[in-house]
Amino acid sequence: MSNSETLHVADWLKQDSDEEEMTNNEPTTCLFCTETFPCIEKALEHLKKHHKVDFYCLKKKFRMDQYSFIKLINFIRRENIEPDRLHDATESFWDLEMYLKPKEYESWLTYDYENMEPEGHFKENDEEEQLSLEEIIKKQRDRLEQAAEHLTVMNATVTRLLDKEDREPQSVNGISHRSDSHYFDSYSHFGIHYEMLADTIRTNSYRDALLKNKSLIEGKNVLDVGCGTAILSIFASQAGANKVVGIDNSEIIYHAIGIIRKNNVDNVTLIKGRLEDTVLPQEKYDIIVSEWMGYFLLFEGMLDTIIYARDNHLASQGKLLPNRCTMSVVGYGDDELFNRHVSFWDNVFGVDMSVMRKEVMQEPLIELVDAENILTEPNCIADFNLLTVGLNYPNFTHVFELLCIKCGTLSALVGYFDTYFELPEPVIFTTSPYGKPTHWKQVVFFLGKPVRVSSGEIIKGRILCKRSVKNSRSLEIVIEIAGQKYFYYLD
């Protein structure tokens, strides 16, 4: 990846250690009484000693991550529950999206629960060393009863626990078929296939790559990954392929089979299934073709499956189509767009809803933007060679320098990608604001504090991209610019 470096989550957290220390030292009010403590660690000890609520045990019992604890804190505050309800919990009934929204800010919400360890947070009281034999036996009996309770509910919770992702994000290839079913179901609807097929930039690019390079395709065996309506499989057949195998795990595959029969394409075989779980008619293929790109290129994580296909099914000296993709950002200033999607919340029919702004801005806007409002030269932030890229591809950081080409108010960064078929007859298409519109559009990352810029000025910043812990197909993005840090979630 050019001009980029892999960034581990631990490195990013280390950079913010000073900020976290300040947060941890904020006065903290108990979740179940009015007592206040100088820091959250003392409050956690109080919870365990006086209310018998052990956050570390809850973390281990329900495999809780940072989001789960935020939901728990907000649930306790909103529902005013008693500690006993947590003692008796056999499932994480607080784990609902509605509890992500806090009633008000408090230090409980910013504590780093994912790195919480029993040492230093939950010190055993010195008095426990003086426990009598009867007290020790009672304590052990309570632990055995708790263990028995865990075994009782195991059958009901085992599926949830297996599907629950670990704190470190994993690739799409590593998640269960059941937990990934919603992704494939989304491609069972006809509307999304119409949108893709009607995208002439997309569809013509693939057709040109195949039909204008017939000498490369003739007599070869082709694998079409995520074939959908099988249009690429048909193009490969028209280009002279020997055999074509298309695979897709959505229900659209059954309509694709009808399309193949209707058009009398006799050298295309279609299979329903997830590639990682399927035995193909043959192991190796000369060419693997796929339209895998998502918003901001990496959304949906289908590149994981292409990497799996490459490593397991691409013949020696085989070709990937496309074989290279780049990601870029450009500075953007459109006051009308900013007002319509961000400032809108300041006055909604006379009601101040500005508390919504922060969360609204964390959801990048998928929009066709006007190239007239571009304020800077583009900056390539990632360059992927698909023949060599590894599964860590979503996790990178890039320091950018954006040269301003006109004066204006910088209110957003706009992301897009370019796709390359580096063949004897090369084909390239872009999703840039300067190019013809595609169904991918562009991704708009609004800045909470727009900045006035002048022509010739260089705007420096940094963008971090990483795979989401909550969903392997989603992205978490952080942009540092003009002394501010902004967080975005593409999911």
| Interval 292-331: pLDDT, tens | 999 999 998 899 999 999 999 999 999 999 999 999 999 9
Which of 87-101, 162-176, 338-352, 362-376 shows the lowest mean pLDDT across its residues?
162-176
Please, are residues 281 and 269 in contact by the beta-carbon 8 Å criterion? yes
- Tokens representing 460? 């420096």
User: Percent of the chain scored above 90 by pLDDT?
Assistant: 57
| Cα–Cα–Cα angle for 352, 353, 356, rounded to 5 degrees | 155
Chain segment 358-411, per-residue pLDDT in tens = 888 999 999 999 999 999 999 999 999 999 999 999 999 999 999 999 999 999
**Burial per residue of 74-99, b for 16 or more beta-carbon CB atoms within 10 angstroms, e otherwise:** bbbbeeeeebeebeeeeebebbeeeb
Q: In what order do the strands lie in the sheet with 268-272?
A: 268-272, 243-248, 221-225, 285-289, 314-321
At residue 151, the pLDDT reads 57
pLDDT at position 16 over 50: no
Average pLDDT value for residue range 457-485 = 93
At residue 221, the pLDDT reads 98
**CA dihedral sign of residues 18, 20, 24, 28:** positive
Please, are residues 288 and 320 in contact by the beta-carbon 8 Å criterion? yes
pLDDT at position 165 over 60: no
Choice between 162 and 449, residue whose per-residue pLDDT is larger:
449
The model carries a pTM of 0.66
Spatial distance between the Cα atoms of 341 and 361, rounded to a whole number of angstroms:
8
Helix 252-262 vs helix 231-238: crossing angle, to nearest 10? 30
**Burial per residue of 268-277, b for 16 or more beta-carbon CB atoms within 10 angstroms, e otherwise:** bebbbebbbe
Q: Are strands 221-225 and 243-248 parallel, antiparallel or unpaired?
A: parallel
User: pLDDT confidence of 288, banded at 50, 70, 90?
Assistant: very high
At residue 9, the pLDDT reads 39
At residue 132, the pLDDT reads 62
Please, are residues 333 and 450 in contact by the beta-carbon 8 Å criterion? yes
At residue 160, the pLDDT reads 42
At residue 259, the pLDDT reads 96
Residue 404 is classified by DSSP as B
At residue 246, the pLDDT reads 96
- Tokens representing 236? 């490969």
At residue 97, the pLDDT reads 75
Distance of CA 416 to the CA centre of its chain: 16
At residue 164, the pLDDT reads 44
For residue 36, which amino acid is it? Answer: T
At residue 128, the pLDDT reads 42
Which of 89-103, 275-289, 440-454, 468-482 shows the lowest mean pLDDT across its residues?
89-103
Residue with tokens 């604890």: 69
pLDDT at position 452 over 50: yes
The contacts of residue 239 (CB under 8 Å, 6+ apart) are: 210, 211, 213, 214, 217, 218
At residue 407, the pLDDT reads 97
At residue 187, the pLDDT reads 67
Nearest CA to 108 out of 19, 28, 17, 16 is that of 28
Q: What is the mean pLDDT of the chain?
A: 85
Catalytic residue among 300, 363, 476, 480: 300
Choice between 71 and 156, residue whose per-residue pLDDT is larger:
71
At residue 177, the pLDDT reads 58
At residue 65, the pLDDT reads 83
At residue 391, the pLDDT reads 92
Strand partners, 402: 459
CA distances from 208 to 161, 183, 213, 218, 291 (A): 46, 29, 8, 15, 14
Chain segment 101-158, per-residue pLDDT in tens = 777 778 888 888 877 766 444 444 444 444 566 667 766 776 666 666 555 545 444 4
Omega cis (within 30) before 322: yes
SS3 236: helix
What does the DSSP assignment read for 153-197? THHHHHHHHHHSPPSS---GGGS-TTTTHHHHHGGGSHHHHHHHH
Spatial distance between the Cα atoms of 68 and 96, rounded to a whole number of angstroms:
9
SS3 206: helix
pLDDT at position 51 over 70: yes
Spatial distance between the Cα atoms of 470 and 228, rounded to a whole number of angstroms:
27
User: Percent of the chain scored above 70 by pLDDT?
Assistant: 81
Catalytic residue among 41, 291, 359, 480: 291
Average pLDDT value for residue range 338-355 = 93
Choice between 9 and 468, residue whose per-residue pLDDT is larger:
468
Please, are residues 287 and 222 in contact by the beta-carbon 8 Å criterion? yes
At residue 116, the pLDDT reads 75
Query: 291 catalytic, yes or no?
Result: yes
